[in-house]
A and B are shown apart, each in its own frame.
Chain A
Amino acid sequence: MRRRLVAGLLVGVLLAVLGAAAARAQQPVRLTFWSWRVEDKWAYDRMIRVFQQRNPGITVEFIPYKATEYNTILSSALTAGKGPDIIHLRAYGGLETFAAPGFILPLDTTKVPELRRFPLQMLAGARSRKDGQIYGVPFATQTLVIYYNKKIFAQHNLSVPRSWDEFLTVLRTLKEKGVLPLANGGKEGWTLEVMAGVLTPNFYGGTSFYEAVIRGHTTFKDPKFTNALAKLLELRPYMADGFMGIDYATMQQLFINEQAAMFIGGSWEIGFFKAQNRNLDFGVFAGPPEKPGQVPWVSSFADGNYGINAKTPYPEQAVKFIRFTATTEWGQMFTDLLAQLSAVPGVVVKDPVLKQVQALNRKATPYIMLVGFRWQTPTGSTLLQNALQAMLAGRMTPVQVGEEVTRGLASWFEPFRGR
């Protein structure tokens, strides 16, 4: 009896081992894909399913982490020689921090021929400054705009302002009627940087100033820039009382619950606004230009990239997946599901608000600090965000903001040294 049991067990173990080995031979390659987009997991799962149907030998698992912790988790994993196969990466300086030390696999048009179709300014967000190579496939562009509540505008017979003066008139009218004109606040510095990104390019002269300042022909002390910043101060009366204590979540709530008529923000809000209040009827317009009839500038930037871990054991399969993310098919799904502008050329936008954003993008200028000055610390964004808080709290003048930002950047940006 016992002998038979032992024999049975042995046979069972043998079968199990053989079976496992056989299974391993047929098992599909499992790629992991880390991201900070927790709220987009459902959409990524759907897009990945399409890829898996085409490529039966490969499965991809989308694993998102909390946005505020993502960088820390990713960098500890990469420095330990681990991490995912596919990496959701930010753009510009946020990509450089991982690409420059060699943690990301460089891509080129032989590996990913689809990259040839991407416009150069889009690829700028995927390019390392260290070696000029491309390290990812751009996934989205973001544009900075002003959202307005169509119902509130109609109630008070207001139309979209075509100039700065008209903008001020709209704000004043709303305030007189007892409506909070702007949902914006100052507790989180980055929302102020966005506000500056929406409103100042029309006054500092858009891309020509951008080109001048990144070449070091001028600095942020330039009166063009500081005068543009001063425009933000004119909006203080039209934000809520105590706006310096209003954080991002409160800003969103004020606009979503129709307690404020306008929200100065980025195109990434569209999907969230719609999901939170299906009855919210809103549109977008660009930061108003100085005079009516001028075509306004909008700040825009590449949101981020999909990259490959340089240490992945499956480079071939990872490249296959990355190539799929560069196809119009992926871009179309991305735009349709997430209501964001895909970076892939040739995507057809159906969402009416997103269509407006796309139209405004025809006169886009780089979102100045993110694109130009986020390459080392202290970044232009960090410096500007804090200085703007000081300015709106009345502790700094626009000229001082310009000096502060220039001085901070001079610590690593050679052309500003000694200026």
Chain B
Amino acid sequence: MTVGRTGKEQAGALTVRGRDTARGGVARARRRRLSLRATRRLWLLVFLGPATALFALFVTYPILSALAYSLFAWEGIGRREFIGLGNFVRLFQTFPYPRLLVNAFWHNVLVFVLTMVVQNGTALGLALLLARDPWGARVYRVIFFLPVTLSLVIVGFLWLLFLNPVFGAVNKALALAGVGHLARPWLGDPHTALVALVLVNAWRWLGFPTLVFLAAIHAIPEEYLEAARIDGAGEGAVVRHVVLPLLAPAVTIIVLLTFLGSFNWFELPYVMQGVASAPDRATDVLGLLFYRTAFGEVDTGLQDIGIGSAIAVLMFALLGSVSAVAAVLLRRREVEYA
């Protein structure tokens, strides 16, 4: 609809322009404005069109089809009759699904909290240190960012080797340091497995929030800091009362990205713990639970597409609503340079 009208307007504007020497100057100006607006619209369409089309094809359509799938009964991989919310009822009421769902959900929450504290906390500290431009700051910046450039699968595999209880470097290093009793099957012990994964993930991503924070700190006009110092504020006070409030936009972005990353977490647990989320679902997250139910465990291969789609729909609703609310709330806290 929009396309057609814009095209016609454009064509009209062009034909009019050819004859407009005979018309008045006011009308000419008006028409030119019109044609400018039309061109603008056309360009908007040219730039937004492909992205919108791709988004519709690879995001909107799958989400809608997952929603549709979740309303049907499934026999193996064959779609059967419409059952309304039957799959959701089963997900919430039939053992062991409710327990698996709650278990995975809390793991996502834990991943988010731990990542915020460990990864983003460390990143903020590093950014503050790097902002003071210590000796070798540029080299450190590269070193911190280096793991981000590695493929996640490689990172997962690397740490699988490091954490292997028989050949792994971590337990060997502990033994060399004289604290061999601390050695653990890090990824096989239900108490340590998830934390180990979060740390590996933080190791990989640390450079990213560090760089975002660092850029935000560099963007703070020097006058503010000088003014604060002249007013007699110590370094701590400058950071607390000037730098941190002005970092709010960066914090908004990092919190939102961490939230989305934590609740969509899939690749690393999948690579390191497999689709079974060993041991005993200790590393299960919603993404894995969804994948496992929809596409089947590796060795049994039985698929439950109805339940899997129901989980996907829930995840989408959760992520969509929470990130919308969070974006509004976090934005409200942001301060402008004024």
Report A's interface with B, CB cutoff 8 A: 67-68, 71-72, 75, 78-79, 90, 93-94, 96-103, 185-190, 240-247, 250, 254, 374-379, 381-383, 385-387, 389-390, 393, 395, 407-408, 410-411
Q: Which residue of B lies closest to A90 (CB)?
A: B301
Q: Which residue of B lies closest to A99 (CB)?
A: B76
Q: How many A-B residue pairs have CB under 8 A?
A: 145
10 closest pairs, A vs B, by CB? A101-B78, A245-B185, A242-B165, A245-B188, A244-B188, A242-B185, A97-B76, A245-B165, A389-B279, A390-B280
Contact of B78 with A244 in the complex, beta carbons under 8 Å:
no
Contact of B302 with A243 in the complex, beta carbons under 8 Å:
no
Q: Given contacts A190-B276, A190-B298, list 9 more A-B pairs with CB under 8 A.
A: A68-B298, A97-B76, A97-B77, A189-B280, A242-B165, A242-B184, A250-B166, A379-B300, A383-B96
A residues near B95, Cβ cutoff 8 Å? 407-408, 410-411
B residues near A240, Cβ cutoff 8 Å? 165-166
A196 and B60 alpha carbons, distance in the complex (Å): 46
Question: How would residues 54 to 77 of chain B score, 1 for a CB under 8 Å from any chain A CB and 0 otherwise?
Answer: 000000000000000000000111
Determine how close the nearest CB of chain A comes to the CB of B79; give it in whole angstroms: 8
Q: Which residue of A lies closest to B301 (CB)?
A: A71
Given contacts A100-B76, A241-B165, A381-B300, contact A72 B295 (CB under 8 A): yes
Contact of B75 with A75 in the complex, beta carbons under 8 Å:
no
CB-defined A-B contacts under 8 Å, sample of 30 = A71-B301, A93-B300, A93-B302, A96-B76, A97-B76, A97-B296, A99-B76, A100-B75, A100-B76, A101-B75, A103-B77, A187-B185, A187-B187, A189-B278, A241-B165, A242-B184, A244-B188, A245-B163, A245-B164, A245-B189, A247-B164, A254-B166, A377-B293, A377-B307, A379-B302, A382-B276, A389-B278, A393-B188, A411-B95, A411-B96
Counting CB contacts under 8 A, is B87 at the interface? no
A78 and B160 alpha carbons, distance in the complex (Å): 35
B residues near A379, Cβ cutoff 8 Å? 297, 300, 302
Counting CB contacts under 8 A, is B299 at the interface? yes
B residues near A242, Cβ cutoff 8 Å? 165-166, 171, 183-185, 188
CB contact list, B172-197 vs A, under 8 A: 183-190
Report B's interface with A, CB cutoff 8 A: 75-78, 94-96, 160, 163-167, 171, 183-190, 274-276, 278-281, 293, 295-304, 307
Q: Which residue of B lies closest to A379 (CB)?
A: B300
B residues near A72, Cβ cutoff 8 Å? 295-296
Contact of B171 with A187 in the complex, beta carbons under 8 Å:
no
Q: Which residue of A lies closest to B78 (CB)?
A: A101
Q: Which residue of B lies closest to A374 (CB)?
A: B300
A residues near B281, Cβ cutoff 8 Å? 386
Contact of B94 with A97 in the complex, beta carbons under 8 Å:
no
A381 and B281 alpha carbons, distance in the complex (Å): 14
B residues near A97, Cβ cutoff 8 Å? 76-77, 296, 301-303
Contact of B188 with A186 in the complex, beta carbons under 8 Å:
yes
Given contacts A245-B165, A254-B166, A377-B304, contact A385 B188 (CB under 8 A): no
Q: Which residue of B lies closest to A408 (CB)?
A: B96
A67 and B293 alpha carbons, distance in the complex (Å): 17
B residues near A100, Cβ cutoff 8 Å? 75-76, 78
Determine how close the nearest CB of chain B comes to the CB of A102; give it in whole angstroms: 7
Contact of B184 with A94 in the complex, beta carbons under 8 Å:
no
Contact of B279 with A244 in the complex, beta carbons under 8 Å:
yes
A103 and B187 alpha carbons, distance in the complex (Å): 39
Contact of B188 with A71 in the complex, beta carbons under 8 Å:
no
Given contacts A97-B76, A376-B302, A411-B94, contact A245 B186 (CB under 8 A): yes
B residues near A188, Cβ cutoff 8 Å? 274, 276, 278
A residues near B279, Cβ cutoff 8 Å? 186-187, 189, 244, 389-390, 393
Contact of A187 with B77 in the complex, beta carbons under 8 Å:
no
A300 and B336 alpha carbons, distance in the complex (Å): 71
The listed residue with most A CB atoms (<10 A of its CB), out of B75, B76, B163, B187, is B76
Determine how close the nearest CB of chain B comes to the CB of A255; give it in whole angstroms: 12
A411 and B307 alpha carbons, distance in the complex (Å): 14
Given contacts A186-B279, A245-B189, A378-B96, contact A103 B299 (CB under 8 A): no
Determine how close the nearest CB of chain A comes to the CB of B182; give it in whole angstroms: 12
Q: Which residue of B lies closest to A240 (CB)?
A: B166
Q: Which residue of B lies closest to A388 (CB)?
A: B280
Contact of B77 with A241 in the complex, beta carbons under 8 Å:
no
B residues near A247, Cβ cutoff 8 Å? 160, 164
A residues near B274, Cβ cutoff 8 Å? 188
A residues near B276, Cβ cutoff 8 Å? 188-190, 382, 385-386
Determine how close the nearest CB of chain A comes to the CB of B69; give it in whole angstroms: 11
A residues near B293, Cβ cutoff 8 Å? 377
A314 and B60 alpha carbons, distance in the complex (Å): 38
A residues near B297, Cβ cutoff 8 Å? 379, 381-382
Determine how close the nearest CB of chain B comes to the CB of A417; give it in whole angstroms: 12
Contact of B165 with A243 in the complex, beta carbons under 8 Å:
yes
A247 and B298 alpha carbons, distance in the complex (Å): 15
A residues near B303, Cβ cutoff 8 Å? 71, 75, 97, 377
Determine how close the nearest CB of chain B comes to the CB of A392; give it in whole angstroms: 9
Q: Which residue of B lies closest to A75 (CB)?
A: B77
Determine how close the nearest CB of chain B comes to the CB of A271; give it in whole angstroms: 19
Q: Which residue of A lies closest to B297 (CB)?
A: A382
B residues near A411, Cβ cutoff 8 Å? 94-96
B residues near A382, Cβ cutoff 8 Å? 276, 297, 300
